[in-house]
Amino acid sequence: FLVERIRELCEEQGKTLFPLEKECGFGNGTINKWDKNSPSVSRAWAVAKALNTTVSYLIGETDIKKPAPIPEGGHFYLTMLS
């Protein structure tokens, strides 16, 4: 599922896996191996960043492709609801 989503995003963005792997600092064929072996979180995050999406989208946790915009100043403030 992960590799399928990566390929889908690459196609939408006019990329192929080889340049994506190079951009992320991976060896050739690395992403295809993820069909059998899950990547580390840091590798999945690198691909998500390069494809302007989230790891949650790549792993199928959500169908929202685009990450939420970072607020001005780059800080998030969390509040607790009671």
Least confident among 19-23, 28-32, 75-79: 75-79
Distance, first Cα to last Cα, the chain: 37
Q: Percentage of the chain surpassing pLDDT 90?
A: 72
- pLDDT tens for 67-79 read 766 666 655 555 5
CB 47 within 8 A of CB 41: no
Average pLDDT for the chain: 87
Q: What is the pTM of this model?
A: 0.79
Predicted local confidence at residue 78, as pLDDT: 57
